[in-house]
Amino acid sequence: MTEHAALETFRSEVKTWLTQNFPKSLVGKAALYMGFDHNVPMEGDALRWRQALAERGFGAPTWPKAYGGAGLSAIEARALGEELAAAGAFNPIPLLTGMGSTMVGPTVLEYGTEDQKLRHLSPIARGEVRWCLGLSEPNAGSDLAALATKAVNKGDYWEVNGQKIWTSGADISQWCGALVRTDSNAAKRDGLSFLLFTMDQPGVTTRPIRLIAGASPFCETFFNDARGDKTDLLGPINEGWTVVKRLLQHERQSQTGAAPIASTGASLSQMAKQYVGVNDRGELNDPDLRLRLASHLMDARTHSLTLQRIAAEARGNPKVTAAASILKNSATSVAQTRAELTLEIMGHQGLGWEGSAFATDEIEAVRGWLAGKAMSIYGGSYEVQNNIISKNILGLPETTQKG
Amino acid sequence: MAVLTEEQTILRDQAVSWVNADAPVSAFRKLRDSGSITGFAPDTWKSICEMGWTGIVVPEAHGGSDLGYMTFGLLLEELGKQLVASPLYASGLVGATALRFAGTDAQKQNCLPAIASGEAIVTLAIDEGPRHAPDAIAMSAEKTGSGYRLNGTKSFVIEGGSATHLIVAARSGQDIVLLLVDASATGLSREVLKTADSRGYANITFKNVDVAATALMSAGHGKATLDAILDRARAGIASEMLGAASAAFDMTLEYLKTRKQFGQLIGSFQALGHRAAELYTEMELTRSAVEAALQAIDAGSKDVPLLCSLSKYKVGAFLFRMSNQLIQIHGGIGMTDEFNAGFYLKRARAVEALYGGQGFHRDRYARLSGF
Ligand SMILES: Cc1cc2nc3c(=O)[nH]c(=O)nc-3n(C[C@H](O)[C@H](O)[C@H](O)COP(=O)(O)OP(=O)(O)OC[C@H]3O[C@@H](n4cnc5c(N)ncnc54)[C@H](O)[C@@H]3O)c2cc1C
């Protein structure tokens, strides 16, 4: 069978499976479970759908079957995403697992012991365990290696003391992957290790931080003699920097705008016509907005053409590459511009916070616009990505002197 | 870079080595210094024809290789890097495309093999004023007993000075028609232009030029046909522009790694490092748009108009920014005629104006998208 025919067979299997397993009641509900506040409880049909995905390994489709995945190739996984979107279905598992599916999981796959893979991956693939990531600290943001949280060897466990900040989902996660200092005498990057431990223990406390968008998706996280199991150091001791660099590459990869999302709303230009009106030539009534909207749509199209081109060049073996920095910055600016334009198009209606004077779409646009500002800060800020591009891709030299 | 076939890789490599050996920017400089009025060097043109590049979009039945627009784009990109001046684009791509789309059987039979061999230089003459305006064609083709009488002016015709044949758009009653005109016709006069870019452009005046009825290419759906031809012309020039921009990027990157000030390489200054990163990002994105347009043409996609406008717009914006940064980041050196940066800046503006600049294509993209 040719590659193409095999893929078509796979697609039709997925279609059949979807008609048998995707509950009709969830059609068009992607936004509810995939939106900015993904705290809608998984009950009834939603729970059954999650379990069906998990049974088939579709929660983490590219992971090996032995660890709860479906062992799909990247091309098949892409096709799966497209079939889900076409059926109005969605895969809520990655969001349910916090940082589990996109970051911790792939890193465990690469650096974990067999025991760690067996214990940690399946629960993620099934969407049963939520993970948070304890990297940033008050004095260690972009300069992550400056972190101070310590883990001390106590014989049969690691004892963790210190403070993390901006820990997304810390208050609702069961597990944490944290970068901690295990050798205070070594150079900045050489004394760090990556430790996995449970959040539900006396030594861990979290304090939610309210964001400009209103919700509190992240926390200050305090470790006071918290404990990590001896078997849960990911990768060798004092080589946590290597592990976390890889993890951050996975994070960037997940932020390139590659995942197809079931489209719910009308197109931006359609929406603009409704709010702004058109002249007798059918053009938007605001000629300046019309051109800026066109520029944005061209940028968005170019971004998606670039994703396609890079996927084609990788011939179905997409590696996590430096190109992710380019794509992350491009995806960020497309998304942020889209949010700004959406608000501008809505005019005063695009300022609603809550209440019946505003449609749900309008309130979501405002919240999304605000929440989206984080895209150029986390996962390596816009500026940090440009440092990576200039040093790692273009090979530009380091500064050796101030001023 | 798109995934290439073996044939495409071979052709591209052939282009790289030929350009570097036989037609580097220094050859373009020589051409300019010679005050050439044809706008290209005859031996450069001869080698191009001998390599068969003029036949890439000519059907095999008419002496070409019919390898498609993506393949042609690859060559134009390599030639664009060194600013090669020749009628390859104007005749081999645009002229051949116009004949394929609008030529009668007899016209194809007569002209396509001659384009492929390089004997004929067939160029498209559309615009009549300083800006691209395919909707504002005023040149008249008045029906006579034996054919048509042409009156009007075509401006800034690429390779207009050396063309053996012109394909002109004219108004005949309500219709826009295309006519294939011998450049030596009585009443046709050309004024070769001396422009900032030392390529061959000419203004062409038609004063009671009588042509036979057989000169008529396509009647009736002239506008749709013209759009299809123009879109292929746009996708082609976009490749050349991408080539020029990527060469400008490489020159700039090289300078960032070699020029020292304040005791260190200027590329270590973060302001310049970030500018380079942004230019590189824009270049990668632009490449996707340029290649997508060519691939859409080869695949016969319905998205051709949209993607061709996207391609010309994106590459126009990038080449504009890149050619300015080429000068800026080179400092004083960038301003000297002895250095090549100026050639890239001048070419950038000439091709920006060709077949619609950024403003034209952004407006068209919006219109095609229904707003
Ligand atoms: C919504 C959200 C969720 C997050 N989730 C998590 C999480 O789950 N776990 C976690 O550990 N962290 C998380 N973070 C933290 C995030 O990783 C940090 O915010 C990020 O690393 C930036 O650090 P900082 O906030 O300290 O900013 P700083 O590093 O202080 O940066 C301030 C400014 O300086 C610029 N800058 C810094 N260094 C350089 C440089 N070398 N060159 C040029 N410019 C520079 C930055 O680009 C930025 O503009 C999250 C952040 C947000 C906003």
Give the chain A residue nearest B255 (alpha carbons).
A396
Catalytic residues of A: 251
Alpha-helical regions (H) of chain B = 6-22, 25-33, 42-50, 69-81, 96-102, 105-117, 222-256, 270-299, 304-330, 341-353, 358-368
How confident is residue A117, by pLDDT bands cut at 50, 70 and 90? very high
Q: Tell whether the model's pLDDT for residue A261 goes beyond 50.
A: no
Q: With beta carbons under 8 A apart, name residues in chain B contacting A301.
A: 289, 310
B248-261: pLDDT as tens digits: 999 999 999 999 99
Give the chain B residue nearest A300 (alpha carbons).
B285
Q: B41 and B140 in one domain?
A: no
Determine the average pLDDT of the residues in A374-389.
Answer: 95
Q: B270 and B343 in one domain?
A: yes
Is there a contact between A400 and B268 (Cβ–Cβ < 8 Å)?
Answer: yes
Asked if B261 reaches chain A (Cβ–Cβ under 8 Å), the answer is no
In a domain, residue A73? The reply is yes
Give the chain B residue nearest A392 (alpha carbons).
B277
Alpha-helical regions (H) of B103-164 = 105-117
Which residue do the tokens 């059609």 mark?
A27
**Is A381 near ligand 1, meaning CB less than 6 Å away?**
yes
Mutating which of B8, B242, B281 best tests the A interface, going by the most A Cβ atoms within 10 A? B281
Mutating which of A252, A289, A296, A301 best tests the B interface, going by the most B Cβ atoms within 10 A? A301
What is the domain extent for residue A68? 3-96
The whole-number pLDDT of residue A266 equals: 59
CA B127 to ligand 1 center in whole angstroms: 52
CB contact under 8 A, B362 and A396: no
Asked if B288 reaches chain A (Cβ–Cβ under 8 Å), the answer is yes
Determine the average pLDDT of the residues in A128-150.
Answer: 97
Listed ranges A81-95, A237-251, B267-281; the one with the highest mean pLDDT? B267-281
Q: A76 and A147 in one domain?
A: no
CB contact under 8 A, B367 and A283: yes
Asked if A308 reaches chain B (Cβ–Cβ under 8 Å), the answer is yes
Whether the complex's predicted ipTM surpasses the cut of 0.85: yes
β-strand partners of B193: B201
Nearest-CB residue to A305 (from B264, B288, B365) = B288
B65-117: pLDDT as tens digits: 999 999 999 999 999 999 999 999 999 999 999 999 999 999 999 999 999 99
Q: With beta carbons under 8 A apart, name residues in chain A contacting B256.
A: 396
Is there a contact between B235 and B316 (Cβ–Cβ < 8 Å)?
Answer: no
DSSP, collapsed to helix, strand or coil, labels residue A290 as: helix
- A window 251-290, beta carbon within 8 A of B: 269, 272-273, 278, 282-284, 290
Residue B290 to chain A, least CA–CA distance (Å)? 9
In Å, what is the CA distance from B102 to each residue of A134, A307, B165, B204, B299? Answer: 65, 36, 15, 22, 20
Asked if B85 reaches chain A (Cβ–Cβ under 8 Å), the answer is no
- Show which of A213, A246, A279 is a domain's final residue: A246
Test site for ligand 1: of A381, A384, A391, most ligand atoms within 8 A of the Cβ = A381
Structure tokens at B43: 């031996």
Q: B67 and B146 in one domain?
A: no
Is there a contact between B271 and B344 (Cβ–Cβ < 8 Å)?
Answer: no
Q: B293 and B339 in one domain?
A: yes
Domain count across chain A: 3
In a domain, residue A385? The reply is yes
Measured over the CA atoms of residue A251, residue A252, residue A255 and residue A257, the dihedral's sign is: negative
Residue-by-residue DSSP string for A325-381: HHHHHHHHHHHHHHHHHHHHHHGGGGG--SSTTS-HHHHHHHHHHHHGGGGGTSSS-
- A window 197-226, beta carbon within 8 A of B: none
The whole-number pLDDT of residue A38 equals: 53
β-strand partners of A17: none
Q: B132 and B54 in one domain?
A: no
In a domain, residue B209? The reply is yes
Q: Tell whether the model's pLDDT for residue A401 goes beyond 90.
A: no
Q: B262 and B210 in one domain?
A: no
**Is A377 near ligand 1, meaning CB less than 6 Å away?**
yes
CATH number at residue A372: 1.20.140.10
Residue A254 to chain B, least CA–CA distance (Å)? 18
Asked if B280 reaches chain A (Cβ–Cβ under 8 Å), the answer is yes
The whole-number pLDDT of residue A16 equals: 97
A62-106: pLDDT as tens digits: 999 999 999 999 889 989 999 998 999 999 999 899 999 999 999
Domain count across chain B: 3
The whole-number pLDDT of residue A319 equals: 60
**Is A158 near ligand 1, meaning CB less than 6 Å away?**
no
Residue B230's nearest CA partner among B166, B155, B312 is B312
CATH number at residue B240: 1.20.140.10
In a domain, residue B114? The reply is yes
In a domain, residue B1? The reply is no
Is there a contact between B179 and B211 (Cβ–Cβ < 8 Å)?
Answer: yes
**Is A136 near ligand 1, meaning CB less than 6 Å away?**
yes
What is the domain extent for residue B334? 223-368
Q: B317 and B215 in one domain?
A: no
Q: A239 and A160 in one domain?
A: yes
In a domain, residue A112? The reply is no
DSSP state of A278: B
Residue B69's nearest CA partner among B300, B298, B308 is B298
- Show which of A184, A211, A246 is a domain's final residue: A246
Q: Tell whether the model's pLDDT for residue B223 goes beyond 90.
A: no
**Angstrom distance (rounded) from CA A216 to CA A214:** 7
Is there a contact between A83 and A90 (Cβ–Cβ < 8 Å)?
Answer: no
Q: What is the mean pLDDT of chain B?
A: 96
Nearest-CB residue to B310 (from A273, A302, A386) = A302
Least reliable range by pLDDT among A27-41, A126-140, A178-192, B46-60: A27-41
Q: Tell whether the model's pLDDT for residue A40 goes beyond 80.
A: no
**Is A221 near ligand 1, meaning CB less than 6 Å away?**
no
Q: A260 and A240 in one domain?
A: no
Q: Tell whether the model's pLDDT for residue A36 goes beyond 60.
A: no
- A window 363-402, beta carbon within 8 A of B: 383, 385-387, 389-391, 393-401
Residue B273's nearest CA partner among A333, A323, A384 is A384
CB contact under 8 A, A390 and B287: no
B158-211: pLDDT as tens digits: 999 999 999 999 999 888 999 999 999 999 999 999 999 989 999 999 999 999
Nearest-CB residue to B277 (from A294, A315, A386) = A386
- Show which of B62, B95, B120 is a domain's final residue: B120
Residue A270 to chain B, least CA–CA distance (Å)? 8
Structure tokens at B273: 């490092």
Q: B98 and B192 in one domain?
A: no
Q: A158 and A139 in one domain?
A: yes
- Show which of A194, A227, A246 is a domain's final residue: A246
Q: A260 and A199 in one domain?
A: no
**Angstrom distance (rounded) from CA B125 to CA B367:** 25
CATH number at residue B191: 2.40.110.10
Q: B135 and B174 in one domain?
A: yes
Least reliable range by pLDDT among A2-6, A160-164, A299-303, B258-262: A2-6
**Angstrom distance (rounded) from CA A317 to CA A304:** 18
Q: B228 and B353 in one domain?
A: yes
CB contact under 8 A, B268 and A395: no
Contacts of A266 (CB under 8 A, 6+ apart): A274
Which residue do the tokens 């910055």 mark?
A329
* A50: Cα separation from own chain's centroid: 19
Q: B145 and B77 in one domain?
A: no
Looking at residue A401, its amino acid is Q
Q: Tell whether the model's pLDDT for residue A146 goes beyond 90.
A: yes
How confident is residue A28, by pLDDT bands cut at 50, 70 and 90? confident
Residue nearest to atom 30 of ligand 1 (CA): A141
Q: With beta carbons under 8 A apart, name residues in chain A contacting B2.
A: 309, 312-313
In a domain, residue A120? The reply is no
Q: Tell whether the model's pLDDT for residue B263 goes beyond 60.
A: yes
**Angstrom distance (rounded) from CA B267 to CA B259:** 8
Give the chain B residue nearest A277 (alpha carbons).
B371
Q: B323 and B229 in one domain?
A: yes
Q: A309 and A181 in one domain?
A: no
- Show which of B120, B154, B171 is a domain's final residue: B120
Nearest-CB residue to B371 (from A273, A396, A397) = A273
State what percent of residues in chain A have pLDDT above 90. 81
The whole-number pLDDT of residue A262 equals: 37
Least reliable range by pLDDT among B219-228, B317-326, B343-352: B219-228
The whole-number pLDDT of residue B222 equals: 77
DSSP state of A140: B
Q: Tell whether the model's pLDDT for residue A161 goes beyond 90.
A: yes
B142-162: pLDDT as tens digits: 999 999 999 999 999 999 999
Is there a contact between B162 and B121 (Cβ–Cβ < 8 Å)?
Answer: yes
**Is A168 near ligand 1, meaning CB less than 6 Å away?**
yes
DSSP, collapsed to helix, strand or coil, labels residue A41 as: coil
The whole-number pLDDT of residue A263 equals: 41
Q: A267 and A380 in one domain?
A: yes
**Angstrom distance (rounded) from CA A81 to CA A75:** 10
In a domain, residue B184? The reply is yes
In a domain, residue B94? The reply is yes
Nearest-CB residue to A301 (from B3, B262, B310) = B310
Phi then psi for A386, rounded to 5 degrees? -65, -35
In a domain, residue A291? The reply is yes
Q: Tell whether the model's pLDDT for residue A389 goes beyond 60.
A: yes
The whole-number pLDDT of residue A264 equals: 41
Asked if B263 reaches chain A (Cβ–Cβ under 8 Å), the answer is yes
Test site for ligand 1: of A164, A166, A252, most ligand atoms within 8 A of the Cβ = A166
Q: What angle do CA A62, A65, A70 make, to 5 degrees?
A: 40
Least reliable range by pLDDT among A77-81, A210-214, A250-254, B164-168: A250-254
A300-326: pLDDT as tens digits: 999 999 999 988 887 756 565 668 899
CATH number at residue A197: 2.40.110.10
Asked if B40 reaches chain A (Cβ–Cβ under 8 Å), the answer is no
CA A378 to ligand 1 center in whole angstroms: 5
Residue B363 to chain A, least CA–CA distance (Å)? 7
